[in-house]
């Protein structure tokens, strides 16, 4: 049986960051208890109805490290009733200022082997500008504790182009990254999400950001510096030491399925893409009437799957293995898409060998290719 990934969403945060539009709510402490009760019931529902082999778990959010340890302990106990032998990766997303030594030790005891820490920047001014509730000092102290309890796989989330995050800030951030020696880094470019506070500011012309050329230039600098630190870019926004590429995240970018549980979570199983409801009451009502809390469901046909495969695989630096493509879909990618591939190859978007992969230019301008292939 194919092994799948499991994502569990914890929609609580201490504070809402100004750039964020995830299903993540502050000031809802009074909902945490009932939310977890419902989440446990959702797990029971899946365990009664489907049989899956799981080899990676990702507890994400929101801020899973924000809630009391007892909820995560019971959650993991319940998850172990799925077939979860030989887990390859078990991550929990965390925010600085919500981790204690005791919590971290307990996470280790539960079998969690990877911490994804939301840093965004180490600059106190930038952190304040984006509504984070932690300082550089707190981040560094948390990282010390993460290492102290023995985590060997630490990933940092960083964002480029935050207000105040100029080239000098990036250089200083990279100096600290050099000292911290994380195994993995996600370096995202700020996305102005429609539901975020920053989007409103931007529409009112009250948010000053870098222009695209400067941002691209800084990103190339980041890529070069991280490479010198042994952190290689393996996906459009992700860097890691060799062997520390995220096993779980690669499932989102490849054809392997994943089950998703919790408010607003999205999964992909047996060619069906689905999203759970985003409203607590709806979530509770559906689960308590014995129904899956699914809001939207879409069957993905073979031809759609093929396009998604191309798009997701091209996000990875190694690109599409042409032999593997032929084995999955039954024909040659270069034959079927010869016109469009030739066009973009001639424009300098692609490397072609055993794989088809983007060049730097291809990564930068990938949307042009994607728009044409969809």
The site for ligand SF4 (CB under 6 A) is made up of 13, 16-17, 20, 22, 24, 61-63, 95, 118
Quick one: what does residue 65 bind among ligand SAM, ligand SF4, none, with the CB cut-off 5 to 8 Å set by partner type? none
Specify the residue, 20 or 356, whose C-beta has the smaller distance to ligand SF4. 20
Select the residue interacting with ligand SAM from 25, 46, 188, 202 (CB under 6 A).
Answer: 188
Dist. CA 59–CA 64, nearest whole Å? 7
Stretch of 2-10, 16-24, 42-50, 274-282 contacting ligand SAM, by CB under 6 A = 16-24
Residue nearest ligand SAM, CB atom distance: 118
Closest CA to 372 of 329, 350, 339: 339
33-36-42 Cα angle (round to 5):
150
Contact 113, 89 (CB under 8 A): yes
CB neighbours of residue 123 within 10 Å: 21
What gap in Å lies between CA 5 and CA 258, rounded to an integer? Answer: 4
Which residue, 61 or 293, is less far from ligand SF4 as judged by CB?
A: 61
| Burial class of residue 105 in the structure, from the number of CB atoms within 10 Å of its CB (0-12 exposed, 13-18 middle, 19+ buried) | middle
Partner interacting with residue 16 (select from ligand SAM, ligand SF4, none; CB below 5-8 Å by kind): ligand SF4
With respect to ligand SF4, which residue has the nearer C-beta, 95 or 121?
95
Contacts by 308-315, CB closer than 8 A, 24 or more apart: 309/254, 309/255, 310/337, 310/373, 311/370, 311/373, 311/374, 312/252, 312/253, 312/254, 313/253, 313/254, 314/356, 314/357, 314/358, 314/362, 314/366, 314/369, 315/235, 315/236, 315/253, 315/366
Name the segment binding ligand SAM (CB under 6 A); options: 39-47, 185-193, 278-286, 348-356: 185-193
The upper half-sphere exposure of residue 365, i.e. CA atoms within 13 Å in the direction of its Cβ, equals 13
* Site string (93-122) toward ligand SAM, x via CB under 6 A: x-x----------------------x-x--
Tell me how far apart the alpha carbons of residues 194 and 152 are, in angstroms, rounded to a whole number: 36
Q: What are phi and psi of 93, to 5 degrees?
A: -80, 140
Structure tokens at 179: 């000292």
Q: For the CB of residue 133, give the shortest distance to ligand SF4 in the complex, in Å.
A: 8
Nearer to ligand SF4, 197 or 337 (CB): 197
Q: Which helix (H) or strand (E) holds 72?
A: helix 69-79
Binding at 261: pick from ligand SAM, ligand SF4, none (beta carbon under 5-8 Å per type): none
How would you label 292-304 residue by residue, b for 16+ Cβ within 10 Å and e otherwise? Answer: ebeeeeeeeeeee
What residues between 53 and 72 interact with ligand SAM by CB under 6 A? 61, 63
Question: Residue 157's binding partner, choosing from ligand SAM, ligand SF4, none, with beta-carbon cut-off 5 to 8 A by kind?
Answer: ligand SAM
Residue number with CB closer to ligand SAM (93 or 113):
93
Per CB under 6 A, the segment of 12-20, 71-79, 141-149, 270-278 that binds ligand SAM is: 12-20
- Binder among 140, 169, 191, 201 for ligand SAM (CB under 6 A): 191
Residue 14 Cβ, how far from ligand SAM at the closest point, in Å? 9
CB of 61 to ligand SAM, least distance (A): 5
Could you tell which of ligand SAM, ligand SF4, none binds residue 175, using a CB distance below 5 to 8 A set by kind? Answer: none
- We find the least distance from the C-beta atom of residue 300 to ligand SAM, in angstroms, to be 24
Contact 109, 175 (CB under 8 A): no
What is the enclosing helix (H) or strand (E) of 238? strand 238-240
> Would you tell me which residues interact with ligand SAM (CB under 6 A)?
13, 19-20, 22, 61, 63, 93, 95, 118, 120, 157, 159, 188, 190-191, 193
């Amino acid at each position: 049986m194919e092994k799948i990934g499991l994502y569990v969403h914890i929609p609580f945060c201490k504070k809402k960051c100004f750039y964020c539009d995830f299903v993540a709510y502050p000031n809802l402490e009074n909902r945490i208890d009932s939310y977890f009760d419902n989440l446990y019931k959702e797990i029971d529902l899946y365990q009664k109805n489907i049989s899956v082999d799981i080899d990676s778990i990702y507890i994400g959010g929101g801020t899973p490290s924000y809630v009391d340890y007892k909820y995560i302990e019971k959650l993991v106990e319940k998850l172990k009733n799925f077939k979860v032998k030989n887990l390859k990766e078990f991550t929990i997303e965390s925010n600085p200022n919500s981790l204690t030594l005791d919590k971290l030790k307990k996470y280790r005891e539960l079998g969690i082997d990877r911490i994804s820490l939301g840093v965004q920047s180490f600059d106190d001014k930038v952190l304040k500008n984006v509504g984070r509730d932690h300082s550089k000092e707190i981040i560094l102290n948390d990282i010390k504790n993460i290492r102290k309890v023995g985590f060997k796989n630490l990933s940092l989330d960083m964002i480029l182009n935050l207000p105040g995050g100029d080239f000098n800030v990036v250089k200083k951030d990279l100096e600290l990254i050099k000292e911290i020696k994380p195994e993995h880094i996600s370096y995202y470019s700020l996305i102005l999400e429609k539901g975020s506070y920053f989007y409103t500011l931007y529409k009112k012309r009250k948010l000053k950001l870098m222009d695209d050329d400067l941002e691209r230039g800084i990103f190339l600098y980041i890529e070069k510096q991280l490479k010198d630190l042994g952190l290689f870019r393996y996906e459009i926004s992700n860097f890691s030491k060799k062997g520390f590429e995220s096993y779980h995240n690669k499932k989102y970018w490849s054809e392997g399925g994943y089950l998703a549980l919790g408010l607003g979570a999205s999964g992909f199983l047996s060619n069906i893409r689905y999203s759970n409801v985003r409203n607590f009451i709806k979530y509770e009502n559906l689960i308590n009437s014995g129904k899956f809390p699914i809001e939207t469901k879409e069957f993905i046909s073979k031809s759609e799957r093929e396009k998604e495969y191309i798009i997701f695989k091209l996000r990875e630096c190694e690109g599409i293995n042409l032999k593997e493509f032929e084995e999955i879909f039954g024909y040659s990618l270069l034959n079927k898409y010869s016109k469009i591939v030739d066009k973009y190859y001639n424009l300098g978007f692609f490397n072609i060998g055993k794989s088809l992969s983007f060049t730097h230019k291809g990564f930068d301008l990938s949307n042009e290719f994607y728009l044409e292939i969809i």
